[in-house]
Structure 1
Amino acid sequence: MGFTMYVPTKILFGQGALDNLHKEDCLGVNAMIVLSNGVSAKKYGYLDKVEEQLSLAKVNYAVFDKVQANPLKDTVMEGAKFCRENKCDFIVALGGGSVIDSAKAIAVMAVNDGDLWDYIASGTGKGQPITNKPLPIVSISTTAGTGSEADAGCVITNPETNEKVGLKTPDIFPVLCVEDINLQKSVPPKFTAYQGFDALSHSLEGYISKFANLMSDMYAITAIENVGRYLARAVNNGNDLEAREHVAFGNILSGTVMCVGTTSSQHSLEHALSAYHPELPHGAGLIMLSRAYFGNIIKHNVCPERFIQMAKAMGMENATKAEDFLTVLEKLLEECHVADLKMSDYGITPDEFPKMADNAMGPMGGLFACDRVQLTKEDCIAIYQQSYK
């Protein structure tokens, strides 16, 4: 039950938290603001608010707005070049997990030579040590899903090799996280659901991981309670700020679960899906896999008491058996209107499952070591097949 606890990010949490950004003393002189290639940050005035705060702090800034929904290596390298050319000494990530992950990778490559994949330790990465300390990062989250705003990892896709893999180092913990619920009201219902299930999955996986410990259990079960009981409300009424606040809180806790514990192979299986089909939102892929994935573990009866506790945390106080977790999971999927998501809608075909299983067990294979039930390639294919519609 031992653990190592190191989560140095300062967190400003709650409605209106962004208004206090200019008061922080962790800022540099020249900021690079990283955005997605979408329109929401500009459309809803979030970029204007950040620029105002930086101006109040007497900080110059340059805007880089090219990050994709599943961030790509080439975009990271382009962003690093932009950062150097504009002589930026810290990075402000304004957006969801993809933007924050990209900002972390840009922070590494802005001050280190070579290619991002030189520093990736899995798959075709060269595993070289990061020589120069990455630039400081301020994360301002406009979604509640990945927990990246306060953890030490990022996930980037290399489309040339169909690898969607993580880079993890304490040096990319954001210095400051701003979790302003007012910036999350504009997230559409389906993306609120996708992002919420990503946050939920981090803690569900962490709670049943064989590396679960006293500290990760505390964070995970509290996150499961907050996301599991409030996500449907946030999906069905985006202006329900109480619900969004609970989901955002659970999201940050789930990020901490990944700092003091681990996720599991469900994330590897999903990363293989969206590595080959980058238009698939990560959370949507996790939703598609969830029933078959957790059902497989329950079938092996390795930790029934943990599934009972998760069912209770999600609202089924009278849960008595592991299968009750699948019941409450299905109920949440239906209440969030995502129970019928189809892989086929994203161009995924069953003949891809063998190569996806190889991909999951290859570049992201490390997470399989966290499972209480060891999956074979055939097991992975079966989970994909059971999840397919």
Structure 2
Amino acid sequence: NEQEVTTMMNFNFYNPTRLLFGSGKIGELGAQKLPGKKALLLISAGKSAKVSGALDKTVEQLKAAGVEYVTCANIRENPTKELVMEAAEAAKANGCDFIVALGGGAVLDSAVAVAAMATNPGDLWDYVNGGTGKGRPLVNRPLPQVTIALTAGTGSEINNWGVISKTDTYEKIGFGGTPELVPVLAVVDPELMCTVPAQYTAYQGFDALFHNTEVMMSNGANILSETLALSAIENIAKYLPRAVKDGNDLEARERVAYGSTIAGMTMQLTSTTAQHSMEHAMSAYHPNLPHGAGLIMISVEFARYFIERHACDGQFIKMARAMGIPEADKAEDFLTALIQLQKACGVDGLKMSDYGFAKEEALTLAVNARETMGGLFLANPCELPDKACAEIFERAYR
């Protein structure tokens, strides 16, 4: 119908991040115009940045650029408000005028919140929208961010959102969205990703995949987000099994990294859906659950809900074709492609029960998903009431 065509041709796009993408690109960092003289170098509490050689290379580039730095190595998976405030305090105390975020999703997500809290009064939750957040606007301009992605999963290196947990209230909420929080410079160098273990390569790759599949399912999909998302989906589906099988397969790493970074754009053009809200609820209650693993657990049943209601059959068919079923002609073919890919990456056996979930939690999770990140429910291709949302959790439970 006429209306649908018009909607699909509308979009707003603003992505001011200078992106250096490709193998060896970390070597170009020092030659860039950096946004300050003293950086807070934000890394995880783990060893990944050191093991991959990324830390040494980054430090070398900062020195070449004549930039001083202070290291803050406190970020963990499913980062908390407390860790963000701690890092922001370190930036303030050391007079840092910009942030270099070196890491995977947890570090890149945290950087958005650290950038805001290094220059603004009060607590992060004063500025969070949703849940118990007070939803206040930022008073002062955040610190500029330079991002260096060490995993292919979040797309956070080029967008202005970070997901942070408040553990005492079981809230895991996206923070950000203002133009000043978009990183000024991003480096995506797949060579730095070769040491990511197979299991995490799979989890992160599926997170990147779902950013794009959710954009395709979203009622806000448009001609540009769809074009980009299908390109990303095709690359991830084809190359993720190879990257999981052999971490040093650089071509596979490059293609998956491409699919992940592209999602940083598609998510700005079109929102993801409630699949992400639902996973955030899961890891709010079970913080030991990796985000990508949680998404994998619910993905088939989440898609099936909309397929059974014929909410966006055409989109599912396009995705199935991009995922290696060229003759796909029905929405269910997407489920076939998705299950096949999960098997090829060895993640088809993931169980909620292994992470301490009980089936009885389904409604609690459904309610939490809407209360903390209800905005994403508005992007679903059709209505998803709490009861139906709980049923998706129940059907996905193993």
- Counterpart among 304, 307, 312 of residue 298 in structure 1: 307
Corresponding residue of 2:253? 244
Partner of 1:342: 351
Counterparts of 1:302 and 1:21 in 2: how far apart (Å)? 45
Which of these residues, 229, 240, 256, is aligned with residue 231 of structure 1?
240
> How far apart are 1:320 and its partner, in Å?
1.2
What corresponds to 1:131 in structure 2?
139
Which string of whole-angstrom CA distances, capped at 9 and with x for unpartnered residues, describes residues 316-362 of structure 1? 11111111111011110000000010111111111222211110011
| Residue ranges of structure 1 left out of the alignment (5+ in a row) | none
Q: Quick one: distance in 2 between partners of 1:319 and 1:58?
A: 55
Offset at residue 208 of structure 1 (A): 1.1
Distance 1:6 1:384 in 2: 35
Counterparts of 1:77-226 in structure 2, within 5 Å, are 77-167=85-175, 168-226=177-235
Q: Would you say the 8 A contact 2:277–2:374 is kept in 1?
A: yes
| Candidates 295, 298, 323, aligned match of 1:286 | 295
Cα displacement string for residues 57-105 of structure 1 (whole angstroms, at most 9, x for unaligned residues): 1111110001010010000000010001111000000000110111111
Taking the aligned partners of 2:52 and 2:338, their CA distance within structure 1 comes to 33
Contact persistence 2:232–2:258 (CA under 8 A): yes
The question of whether the paired residues in 1 share the 8 Å contact of 2:15 and 2:265 is answered with yes
Query: Is the CA contact (8 Å cut-off) linking 2:53 and 2:192 kept in structure 1?
Result: no
Equivalent AA in structure 2 for residue 221 of structure 1: L
Find the aligned partners of 1:214 and 1:132 in 2 and give their Cα distance: 36
User: What is the CA-CA distance between 1:44 and the residue it aligns to?
Assistant: 3.0
Amino acid at match of 1:62: V
Counterpart of 1:121 in structure 2: which amino acid?
A: N
Letter in structure 2 aligned against 1:225 = E
Q: Write the letter of the residue equivalent to 1:177.
A: A
CA distance in structure 1 between the aligned counterparts of 2:272 and 2:51, rounded to whole angstroms: 35
Hey, what's the Cα distance between the residues in 1 that align with 2:349 and 2:136?
43
Aligned partners of 2:52 and 2:193 also within 8 Å: no
The CA distance in 1 between the partners of 2:289 and 2:15, in whole Å, is 30
For residues 32 and 152 of structure 1, the distance between their equivalents in structure 2, rounded to whole angstroms, comes to 18
Aligned-pair CA distance for 1:170: 1.6
2:75 corresponds to: 67
Cα deviation 1:105-139 (Å, max 9, x = unaligned)? 10000000000000011111111111111111010
Give me the CA root mean square deviation. 0.8
Aligned length: 389
CA-to-partner distance for each residue in 1:267-326, whole Å, 9 max, x for gaps? 011000001111101000000001100011100012111111100001111111111111
Cα distance, 1:51 vs structure 2: 0.7
Task: Name the structure 1 match of 2:367.
Answer: 358
The yes-or-no answer on 1:322 pairing with 2:331 is yes
- The SS at the match of 2:372 is coil
What is residue 66 of structure 2 aligned with on the other side?
58
Superposed displacement of residue 380, structure 1: 1.1
Q: Are residue 31 (structure 1) and residue 39 (structure 2) matched? A: yes
Identify the residue that residue 397 of structure 2 maps to in structure 1. 388
For 1:328, the aligned partner's letter is: A
Asked whether the equivalents of residues 51 and 195 of structure 2 are also in contact (C-alpha less than 8 Å), the reply is: no
CA distance in 1, matches of 2:35, 2:219: 39
Compute the displacement of 1:26 (Å): 2.4
3-state DSSP class of the match of 1:364? Answer: helix
Letter in structure 2 aligned against 1:276: Y
Instruction: Say if 2:52 and 2:194, in contact at 8 Å, map to a contact too.
Output: no
Q: What's the CA shift for 1:229?
A: 1.3
Match of 1:332 among 316, 341, 357: 341
- CA shift for structure 1 position 45: 2.3
Rounded to whole Å, the distance in 1 between the matches of 2:123 and 2:64 is 36
Identity of aligned residues (%): 50
Distance 1:341 1:171 in 2: 38
Distance 2:49 2:254 in 1: 19
Q: CA deviation at 1:153?
A: 0.9
> Residue deviations 1:16-44, cap 9 Å, x none?
00001000012311111001111111233
Q: With the length of structure 1 as denominator, give the TM-score of the two structures.
A: 0.99
Q: Which amino acid aligns with 2:173?
A: V
1:232-282 per-position Cα deviation (integer Å, ceiling 9, x unaligned):
111111111111101101111111111111100100110000011111010
Structure 2 SS opposite 1:35: strand
Alpha-carbon contact 2:11-2:222 (below 8 Å) kept? yes
In 1, Cα distance between equivalents of 2:219 and 2:245: 35
